[in-house]
A = this chain, B = another copy of it.
């Protein structure tokens, strides 16, 4: 399942900047950053639950916003379109060396 993780973390304080880095690091474990605060993660339900718990322990729920969009189905690639810079890689595509 593709899960899109989008977030706004308040970076007005040093503490907020630290939270921002931590949120990105956690998401990086499960997928790829496609925009500044958007990650595409390929995960199963158990991994998704684990990520949500980990993120909940990091953010400040009064200031920060996290959104998760489950884009289910094996054909999720057909549901994603990109225009402009920073094209993403196909997480399940062949690894070319």
Chain A residues within CB distance 8 Å of chain B: 4, 6-8, 34-38, 52, 55-56, 59-72, 79-86
Cβ contacts under 8 Å, A62 to chain B: 84-85
Q: Which of B56, B61, B72, B85 contacts A79 (CB 8 A)?
A: B72
Cβ contacts under 8 Å, A70 to chain B: 79-81
A contact patch SS: strand
Q: How far is the CA of A23 from the CA of B87 in the complex (A)?
A: 19
Q: How far is the CA of A56 from the CA of B64 in the complex (A)?
A: 30
Q: Which of B56, B61, B79, B84 contacts A69 (CB 8 A)?
A: B79
Q: 30 pairs across A/B with beta carbons < 8 Å?
A: A6-B6, A6-B38, A34-B67, A35-B37, A36-B37, A37-B37, A38-B38, A52-B81, A55-B83, A59-B83, A59-B84, A61-B83, A61-B85, A62-B84, A64-B84, A64-B85, A65-B85, A66-B82, A66-B83, A67-B80, A67-B81, A67-B83, A68-B80, A68-B82, A68-B83, A69-B71, A69-B79, A69-B80, A71-B71, A72-B79
